[in-house]
Amino acid sequence: GCVLVVSVVEQLAQWHNSTVKAAVERLCNYIPGKYQIMCHMSRCIDKEMNADVVCHSLKLCKQDPGQPLCHLYAPPKVSWFSTFSKAADCGRSFKLEKSFMGFSSICAFPLLDNLCEKIKYVIRNKLPFEDFDGDKFSTFPTLRGYHWRGRDCDDKNTTVYPGRRPDNWDVKSDSNCNGIWGVDPKDGIPYEEKFCKGADSQGVVLLGDSAGAHFHIPPEWMMVTQMSAKSFANLPMAFSDELDWPQFSEFTGFLNSTIGGWTDSLYLRLRRRNRCNHRDLQNISQNGGSSGNLLYLIKSLARNQLLDNPAIVIYATIGNDVCNGDRDTLAHMTTPKEMLSNVVQALRYLDSHLPNGSHVILTGLVDGRFLWDNLHDRYHPLGQLNRDITYSQLYTFLDCLQVSPCSGWLTPNETLRNLTSERALQLSNVLKEIARSEKFANFDIFYMDFPLRQTAEEWHKMGGEPWQLIEPVDGFHPSQIAAALGTSITWQKALHEWPHVLGKENPFNNQIEAIFKDQGGH
């Protein structure tokens, strides 16, 4: 984080032909309110001090005994030691030492600690921070609110929430938040009964990782040629959503994308198929999600077997069972035996919580060799101004810091990349065998490969390049384009192979929308 901020300051000074001090002030003016604290660490830069030097000197980066000194840029012309000493003196003169030195994370910065406490709460509990009735749904968008789960329509009533079966056909109020309630004055039949009875209403639940949560760092945060205050307008929202954008994601997206590409999701397609499914979505994903920690994450599922509609559950931990930042990465990968145990435990939990008639789709792991093959020699957004940082350099830097999202795939070591893909295939085969052999009382179960090859082929037909399917800043996650194309491929597979999973088309959709339009509703 420090290296990123200092790099941006250096490039702002270069692009605007200004002093470093002026560049710091420019960046601080771009960044909203309390987040400005992050830009003041950049006051100690001169021509001999690149981002690596500043951040090591402020002790925001550290070097353990016996470990290599991690750096993104070329070493300074003079020795590391003398440059560090100069930067440390500067830090003391600006009283930065007291403000920054020794902080283990961005959450230790003044003014951000309160927000971080809220974020820690939702990360720990995976539940909305603002949920006054305790039904696991919220009227607040971020902090695990309705960007992640359907929006609550009465946060003072625990029996009102998205996804439940209607209470007395919602004659007097909207108990399931799908917007359909009241009685048709023409015939006295409740609208919910008239339009939704026997309509196979069902929700979408994703159990996943950062790809499913839709991790994204906006490239405009670090590309100085197009940087302005507008570039950082979404910073508070992104920070309080853990740098995830589930509202645009492949399975639960429901808003038009503001981060490039377009939004297409399983939820939106199910909603178009049956308007009664409105708001019935849950994105129960986390950055770093794997088959192991999903056993804890799954407990935040909001589904009542007796009162709620069935659901389509997507189980998609597509990489973290083989991805880690450890030096001996192979030793820390999930084994096939562990995968079998973890997934079966999760399925048993679902069987005890999902209403009868639900469906579970197990998604195989991705073949992450696609990342290195298509990015390693391209310039990262941070390196495009001076053509000085490739993805290969970024991967090496993160690996050195032992914070690489995937040491097994983001590496020049081809043998290691192949071994990682081999383990991923073994784990996918475990999922495939579970779908073939296991039976559960309340849902049927299916398997599908992660559709990377089909996505790349489809994008090529549209004139796109493979690298555009990868998030540009982290060089690891599926991009917005990949998410939207993946939805289309998944939907087509379901239509052809498991049509009953999607439910039937509601013949009253047009009437429902017409009534809403007449009443000025949405």
Q: Can you give the CATH number for the domain in which 416 is found?
A: 3.40.50.1110
Q: Looking at per-residue confidence, does 120 or 502 come out higher?
A: 502
For residue 96, pLDDT beyond 50? no
Asked whether 313 and 280 are in contact (CB, 8 A), the reply is no
Provide the 3-class DSSP secondary structure of residue 478: strand
Lowest mean pLDDT among 360-374, 444-458, 504-518: 504-518
Lowest mean pLDDT among 57-66, 144-153, 481-490: 57-66
Residue 246 resides in a domain: yes
Query: Band of the pLDDT at 69, cuts 50, 70, 90?
Result: confident
Q: Alpha helix locations (H) across 126-234?
A: 191-196, 210-213
Query: Band of the pLDDT at 102, cuts 50, 70, 90?
Result: very low
For residues 342 and 445, what is the distance between their CA atoms, to the nearest angstrom? 16
For residue 454, pLDDT beyond 80? yes
For residue 47, pLDDT beyond 60? no
Q: What is the CA radius of gyration of the chain?
A: 25
* Residue 215 DSSP symbol: B
Q: Mean pLDDT across the chain, nearest whole number?
A: 91
Q: Looking at per-residue confidence, does 65 or 274 come out higher?
A: 274
pLDDT at 105: 59
Nearest to 39 by CA among 17, 13, 64, 16: 13
Token pair belonging to 169: 């056909």
Residue 46: which residues within 8 A CB-CB, separation 6 or more?
20
Lowest mean pLDDT among 58-72, 282-296, 336-350, 358-372: 58-72
Residue 299 resides in a domain: yes
Lowest mean pLDDT among 25-29, 85-89, 99-103, 181-185: 99-103
pLDDT at 84: 54
Query: Band of the pLDDT at 41, cuts 50, 70, 90?
Result: low
pLDDT at 36: 72
Residues 62 and 209 in one domain: no
Q: Alpha helix locations (H) across 352-403?
A: 369-375, 391-400
Residue 168 resides in a domain: no
Based on the residue annotation, tell me whether 210 is a catalytic residue of this protein. yes
Token pair belonging to 13: 């000074």
Token pair belonging to 521: 């509703």
Residue 94 resides in a domain: yes
pLDDT at 74: 79
Asked whether 53 and 83 are in contact (CB, 8 A), the reply is yes
Residue 187's Cβ-count burial label (10 Å; 0-12, 13-18, 19+) is: exposed
204 DSSP β-pair partners: 281, 312
Residues 222 and 346 in one domain: yes
Please report, rounded to a whole number, the percentage of residues in the chain having pLDDT higher than 90. Answer: 77
Query: Band of the pLDDT at 425, cuts 50, 70, 90?
Result: very high
Nearest to 144 by CA among 157, 134, 131, 153: 131
Residues 94 and 222 in one domain: no
Query: Band of the pLDDT at 206, cuts 50, 70, 90?
Result: very high
pLDDT at 95: 47
Q: Which of 7, 138, 201, 210 is catalytic?
A: 210
Asked whether 209 and 289 are in contact (CB, 8 A), the reply is yes
Asked whether 313 and 205 are in contact (CB, 8 A), the reply is yes
pLDDT at 125: 85
Residues 242 and 97 in one domain: no
Residues 75 and 207 in one domain: no
Nearest to 177 by CA among 200, 157, 197, 194: 157
For residues 494 and 202, what is the distance between their CA atoms, to the nearest angstrom? 15
Secondary structure percentages of the chain, helix, strand, coil, to 5: 45, 10, 45
One-letter amino acid identity for 425? Answer: L
pLDDT at 37: 66
Residues 98 and 219 in one domain: no
Residue 326 resides in a domain: yes
Residues 352 and 464 in one domain: yes
Residue 293 resides in a domain: yes
Q: Considering the entire predicted model, what is its pTM?
A: 0.93
Upper half-sphere CA count for residue 197 (Cβ side, 13 Å): 11
For residues 77 and 368, what is the distance between their CA atoms, to the nearest angstrom? 37
Query: Band of the pLDDT at 14, cuts 50, 70, 90?
Result: very high
Query: Band of the pLDDT at 82, cuts 50, 70, 90?
Result: low
Lowest mean pLDDT among 34-43, 223-232, 233-242, 280-289: 34-43
Q: Give the burial string for 203-221 (b: 16+ CB within 10 Å, else e).
A: bbbbbbbbbbbbbbbbbbb
Number of structural domains in the chain: 2
Taking the CB of residue 437, how many other CB atoms lie within 10 A of it? 8
Residue 126 resides in a domain: no
Q: Which residue has the tokens 């927000």?
A: 115
For residues 139 and 129, what is the distance between their CA atoms, to the nearest angstrom? 10
Token pair belonging to 156: 């003072």
Q: Looking at per-residue confidence, does 54 or 204 come out higher?
A: 204
For residue 510, pLDDT beyond 80? yes
Nearest to 375 by CA among 400, 399, 393, 388: 393
Of the three residues 88, 107, 126, the one that is the final residue of a domain is 107
Residues 343 and 482 in one domain: yes
For residue 42, pLDDT beyond 70? no
Sequence-separated contacts (24+) of 14-21 with Cβ below 8 Å: 14/224, 14/385, 14/386, 15/224, 15/225, 15/385, 20/45, 20/46
* Residue 149 DSSP symbol: B
Dump pLDDT digits (tens) for 287-325: 999 999 999 999 999 999 999 999 999 999 999 999 999
Query: Band of the pLDDT at 516, cuts 50, 70, 90?
Result: confident
Residues 208 and 84 in one domain: no
Residues 92 and 232 in one domain: no
Q: Give the burial string for 77-99 (b: 16+ CB within 10 Å, else e).
A: eeebeebbebbbebbeeeebbeb
Residues 220 and 90 in one domain: no
Residues 96 and 220 in one domain: no
For residue 337, pLDDT beyond 60? yes
Phi and psi based region of residue 275 (left: phi greater than 0; alpha: psi -120 to 50; beta: remaining)? alpha
pLDDT at 471: 98
Domain ranges, residue 18 = 1-107
For residue 506, pLDDT beyond 60? yes
Of the three residues 80, 107, 134, the one that is the final residue of a domain is 107
Residue 180 resides in a domain: no
Please report, rounded to a whole number, the percentage of residues in the chain having pLDDT higher than 70. Answer: 89
Query: Band of the pLDDT at 124, cuts 50, 70, 90?
Result: confident
Query: Band of the pLDDT at 379, cuts 50, 70, 90?
Result: very high
For residues 299 and 42, what is the distance between their CA atoms, to the nearest angstrom? 42
Of the three residues 69, 84, 107, the one that is the final residue of a domain is 107
Mean pLDDT over 407-428 rounds to 98
